[in-house]
């Protein structure tokens, strides 16, 4: 490349980046409303719960307090639970009845849910908690353990600065409508489906 070609390339890059910067800056200037948001992480792809945990870590990293309720996982040997338990500022509750296809007993699942839900509601009315994560709560809706209106009321009455992260496959339309941010995590490929064994540190 000649010197003049290189200079032209450099200018083009600089112009392109300047244009991009103007777009980013304008978007930042437009977004000035300050309030807590409802984030739904759904879809059949890998990454919903781990993304929620990463965001809880972010919240704690800024010195805020956070709450986490795990409606399915959390009792067994979960890598994230071990680390999360060591972090100051996090209140962590586990429903702990395991997968509904393991218990195969709806009454038992309902009792386990009814025991943990008041703790989740207490988090959703606690202004000290900047972020509350309800991990795999969509299954509680899908299996009729939780009534959507009950969840909706708790979300709508939460402290205005509080962020809530809800995860799990198949988030219903009414929940998506209520949310500010919805990510649909689409599985394009999954190692497990291709015969690779699920492993500690990746799947749990």
Q: Which of the residues 82 through 121 are near its own copies (CB under 8 A)?
A: 82-84, 87, 99-107
Among 1, 27, 149, 160, binds its own copies (CB under 8 A): 27
Among 37, 111, 114, 128, binds its own copies (CB under 8 A): 37
Strand 129-135: give its sheet, edge to edge: 38-42, 163-167, 129-135, 65-70, 90-94
Q: Which stretch binds its own copies (CB under 8 A): 35-43, 119-127, 147-155?
A: 35-43
- Measure the CA dihedral 66/186/139/41, to 10°: 20
In the bound complex, what is the minimum distance in angstroms from residue 129's beta carbon to its own copies? 11
Characterize 92-130 residue by residue with b for buried, 16 or more Cβ atoms within 10 angstroms of its Cβ, and e for exposed: bbbbebbebeeeeeeeebbebbeebbeebbebbeeeebb
Q: What stretches of 79-152 adopt beta strand conformation (E)?
A: 90-94, 129-135
In the bound complex, what is the minimum distance in angstroms from residue 117's beta carbon to its own copies? 19
Which tokens go with 74? 């959390």
Q: Which stretch binds its own copies (CB under 8 A): 17-25, 111-119, 120-128, 150-158?
A: 17-25
In the bound complex, what is the minimum distance in angstroms from residue 190's beta carbon to its own copies? 5
127 binds its own copies per the rule CB under 8 A: no
């Amino acid at each position: 490349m000649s010197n003049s070609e290189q200079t032209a390339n450099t200018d083009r890059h600089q112009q392109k980046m300047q244009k991009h910067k103007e777009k980013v800056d304008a978007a930042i200037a437009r977004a000035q409303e300050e309030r807590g948001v409802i984030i739904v992480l759904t879809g059949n792809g890998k990454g919903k719960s781990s993304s929620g945990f990463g965001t809880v870590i972010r919240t704690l990293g800024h010195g805020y307090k956070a709450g986490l309720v795990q409606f399915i996982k959390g009792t067994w040997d979960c890598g994230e639970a071990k680390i999360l338990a060591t972090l100051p500022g996090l209140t962590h509750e586990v429903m702990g009845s395991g997968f509904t296809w393991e218990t195969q007993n709806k009454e038992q699942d309902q009792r386990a849910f009814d025991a943990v839900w008041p703790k989740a509601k207490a988090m959703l009315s606690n202004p000290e908690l900047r972020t509350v994560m309800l991990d795999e709560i969509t299954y509680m809706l899908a299996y009729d353990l939780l009534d959507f209106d009950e969840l909706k009321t708790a979300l709508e009455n939460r402290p205005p600065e509080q962020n809530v992260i809800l995860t799990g496959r198949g988030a219903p339309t009414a929940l998506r409508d209520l949310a500010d941010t919805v990510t649909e995590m689409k599985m394009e490929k999954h190692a497990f489906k291709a015969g690779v064994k699920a492993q500690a540190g990746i799947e749990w």
